[in-house]
Amino acid sequence: MLRKADLGNGNYQNPIIYGDYSDPDAIRVGDDYYMISSSFCNAPAIPILHSRDLVNWKVVNYVCRNVPEYRYVNPMHGSGVWAPAIRFHENEYYVYFPMPDEGVYVSKARDPRGEWTKPVNIMPEYGVIDPCPFWDDDGRAYLATAVSGARVGYKSVLKLAEMSPDGMNILSESKIIYDGRNTENETIEGPKVYKRNGWYYIFSPAGGVKCGFQVVLRSRDLYGPYESRVVMRQGSSPVNGPHQGAWVDTVTGEDWFLHFQDVYAGGRIVHLQPMCWEEDWPVIGKRCEGETYGEPVMTYRKPHVSQSALDNMSGIPCEPDHSDEFDSDTLGLQWQWNANFEDGWFDTAAKESQLLLHAVKTNRLRQLSDYRNLLLQKWPAPEFTCETRINIRNLETDDMAGIVSMGQTFGGLAVRVREGAEGAAKYELVKITGTQEFDHNMAFAESSEDTAPLDSGLLETADFTIVFHYEVKIREYRDYLDRKDWQGNEIWVRHIPQEDIVMYLEIGGKTIADSTIRLDAKAGRWVGVKNGVFCVHRGNGGKTGYARVDYVRYQNHASEQ
């Protein structure tokens, strides 16, 4: 394990997942907890994580094989699946998810680990985000939503519409039930609706992703008016912007809250906070003296779950998978593609413990960041090393294979095959570095490419096997001015890690001197940096080959060991 949330002594430490599982929502069904998160344009879409103690989590499935709608055959950075919600109703699991350019979709399953139904767009409306279903005691169903300022030009309002009892149709126009404009609760979004002791509660983040806080609204009437109270702030903790998540309970009667923290390049990582109730208001985290809100805890005792849950917790402690020996007949659940994928892009070769990446033909004008078949996974720690071994013997002319770092700054380190004298293959080192910029929700990228010849004899001696290295190291910590609030006060985010990324390769145990790439890590559009592998064909047609990926192995950085 790279980072243990479970301390093994009855306590845990935050974050419980150092991985970019943004906008988490979760439910408990019996002894089982299921959590989902945003996935944007990556596929498969909407990861489902499972736990029995709220501390140890594994990815067990995805809701969608691919992102709905045809345009997601290409990477649409910042679009796709935003903050989803999961609920269990009438013995079925429901996931509602927004795509801000297309509307609100719903998918259902009897078993969250099984097949989910084809998503249905029940609210085809531009700019609607953050849906949450709610079934009242009388069986009537409702859908709470927010709006995207990046799409419709305004934000900070929460809306409610009635649905059919089966949750599959919208019956009324959405009505604004809370307006946070020109208040402290500006940028309120992500509503999660609950009911307790005759009160309707809406748990919502406000104040912005990087420097906001958690708000709870309450009313005796679902349509309001609502009282507002801040229930968690950063306080003296190092956890900036603690908000956007899920209230869950245990069978023993405890209450807990899952939320994320934006750590910039590393993405939006997941924390777990204790929660209590006072005079029908929640307090999340450790109560701040003299205040009605709490602040995040960094260590705390683990939740008290049932004995049956404890009896069925094999393989604990655990974390989402990252290293891969490719000894399975299916692709590991830690992997996602840069866009909607096709089965012909890869083959699993479990008997050989290899992944075969076929060289997918790509337009020569495409930037690396827009290659459809980048196979990526989330950073698993603030500092780490990743070693990837790839055999390129079966590449054809104009094929290229290697590793990639994907963020606003991106880079690729690869080997490409060229046709040499008398048709013989010659090999060249390819180093790609670039930057993405965003304008009106569109991504624009530019990059540079440096090449250098590789010694064919050295490759032959190494049986055409190359070891690629990817290292992430914190260079320093920095403070950022995030914005000004509604009263003009400066809002700062403090002590943010600044990571350096280094990539290089070795052949036959020899580090290739000119192979090093250095990047200043910067998160992508709403997502943390990802790293992974790729294999493409950039030519005028002709035969294509494949690369054999032997393994991808992560470990803590040497300074942490």
| Catalytic center residues | 23, 189
User: SS3 of 135, please?
Assistant: strand
Q: Which secondary-structure segment (H or E) carries 548?
A: strand 546-555
Contacts of 198 (CB under 8 A, 6+ apart): 220
Quote the tokens at residue 560: 């942490």
Hey, how many other C-beta atoms are within 10 angstroms of the C-beta on 377? 25
Are 364 and 404 contacting, i.e. CB atoms less than 8 angstroms apart? Answer: no
Question: Could you tell me the two tokens for 279?
Answer: 């005079």
In 3D space, the residue among 172, 174, 161, 127 whose CA is nearest the CA of residue 147 turns out to be 127
Q: Find the farthest-apart pair of alpha carbons in the chain and give their distance in angstroms, rounded.
A: 84
Rounded CA-CA distance 346/470 in Å is 22
For residue 87, the cross-strand partners are 94
Q: Which long-range contacts (CB under 8 A, 24 or more apart) does 415-424 make?
A: 415/454, 415/466, 415/505, 416/451, 416/538, 417/392, 417/545
State the Cα–Cα distance between residues 193 and 247, nearest whole angstrom.
10
CA geometry: angle 517, 403, 542, nearest 5 deg: 115
Can you read off the two tokens belonging to residue 424?
A: 């013989």
Closest CA to 28 of 249, 192, 196: 249
What distances in angstroms separate CA 50 from CA 314, 347, 355, 484, one per listed residue?
13, 27, 26, 38
- Which helix (H) or strand (E) segment holds residue 243: the answer is strand 243-249
Beta strands in 66-184 (DSSP E): 85-89, 92-99, 103-109, 120-123, 128-135, 141-147, 157-163, 175-179
Tokens representing 305? 């779950």
